[in-house]
Structure 1
Amino acid sequence: MENNIEKNVADNIKALRLQAGLKQSELGEKIAYSDKTVSKWENGLSVPDITALCALADVFGLTVDDLTKENAVENLARISGDEARANRANEIAMMCLSVMSVVLVACFVYTALWLFQNVNFWQVFVWMVCPSALIAYRFNRVNYNVKWVNALTLSLFLWALLAALFLQFINYMMWPLFFIGLPLQAMIIISTLFRKPKKPRR
């Protein structure tokens, strides 16, 4: 049993170091040990003491117990995957809450004007599409940057804005506004779907 633990520790240190792209000397610097000591650990010639194991666990983002078990690299990948899924779920939840906040404000404005001013400001539900589309655009741009989603959300913002302006001032018959949307739509498509990111200068 003890030999298995020693072998697991040796194999895990080497595998985790290689996965992190570290040399033995670089790993040694991080935990205040020499590269020769790290080499002995990896070759099973010696075993890290509890202080070294704690330092290694901190560097690789694992527990000391994980270092003594088989396949620490696979366990780390599983943990990272679980954390990524949890973070993604939290981000989606935050985006939905932000959009729902916009809807709530729109409902509050509509209700307040209806009750206290006897005004049927139904256009507010068209206006609310604009910030909602921008929230969705920013969420995608920051987290995934899927081109067609960027194009879709910006297009939704554009036409919702033009429709809101037209409906807000419908007595002025501002239908030519929609002609402005055509070149703007073309610009959105070109900038989101066809423009390639610039390579950084060396």
Structure 2
Amino acid sequence: MELEKIVAANITELRKSKQWTQLELAEKLNYSDKSISKWERGDGIPDLKTLCKMAELFSVSLDFFVTDGASEQLKKYAAPKEEKGYRLVISLLIIVGFWTAATAFYIYSMMYKSINAWTLFIWPVPLSFAIMYRFNIKWGKKWLGLVCSSGFCWTLLAAFYLQFLSYNFWLLFVVGIPIQAALVLWWIVVVKYKK
């Protein structure tokens, strides 16, 4: 088998094992998705510096790319834990922690202070969006970052409004409009033009 075809098969299998698209791999390597496609078709081979970066990215040795049948060995290898499931569980545990704390404070205030502190349940919502945004930056998709940051913005404004409901600060939501516009523009710059 030609060297180009061996490298192509191994790159393709590594990328698919991480469940990445060609575009996602290209972004991590600072290449275009057309370059990844070219390598996976066997029409060319990445340079040594790029192969080293890919070896580090996929946690394989450099010779993996030029070894015939290495992609078949990868198929037989079973990862000790499902990465996406592990990440989701971490995120959910932190979010559940916020809600548990809010519930505990609510029960305490009902039992010992005899006040209805229902506003305690407002604040975990923006905190949940903030945690989702943080973990999304590290592990997730870029478009989900826009959803999480928008959710954080609007739920934070809603939390302030509901916390101080007696003051009727409805104009507070007007502040959210330029913030939302800035978030959308930021997303366009990061996703569309940073390739």
Return the match for 1:88 from 75, 84, 90: 84
Gaps of 5+ in 1: 1-14, 24-57
SS of 1:138's partner is helix
**Do the aligned partners of residues 178 and 86 (structure 1) sit closer, same or farther apart at CA in structure 2, a change above 3 Å counting?**
same
SS of 1:83's partner is coil
Instruction: Quote the residue 2:155 is aligned against.
Output: 160
The root-mean-square deviation of aligned C-alpha atoms, in Å, is: 3.2
**Do the aligned partners of residues 78 and 177 (structure 1) sit closer, same or farther apart at CA in structure 2, a change above 3 Å counting?**
farther
Greater RCO, CA 8 A, separation 6+:
2
Return the match for 2:132 from 125, 133, 136: 136
Greater mean deviation of Cα atoms: 150-159 or 185-194:
185-194
Whether contact under 8 Å (2:119, 2:163) holds in the other structure is yes
TM-score normalised per structure 2: 0.61
What amino acid is aligned across from residue 189 of structure 1 in structure 2?
Answer: V
Instruction: Quote the residue 2:177 is aligned against.
Output: 182
**Separation of aligned partners in 2, 1:156 and 1:84:** 34
Return the match for 1:123 from 119, 141, 151: 119
Return the match for 2:103 from 104, 107, 123: 107
Instruction: Quote the residue 1:76 is aligned against.
Output: 74
1:191 aligns with 2:189: no
The alignment covers a number of residue pairs equal to 141
Rg larger in 1 or in 2?
A: 1
1:103-139 Cα offsets, whole Å, 9 max, x none, are 1111111111111111111112111111100111112
TM-score normalised per structure 1: 0.59
**Separation of aligned partners in 2, 1:166 and 1:103:** 20
**Do the aligned partners of residues 176 and 103 (structure 1) sit closer, same or farther apart at CA in structure 2, a change above 3 Å counting?**
same
Whether contact under 8 Å (1:151, 1:193) holds in the other structure is no
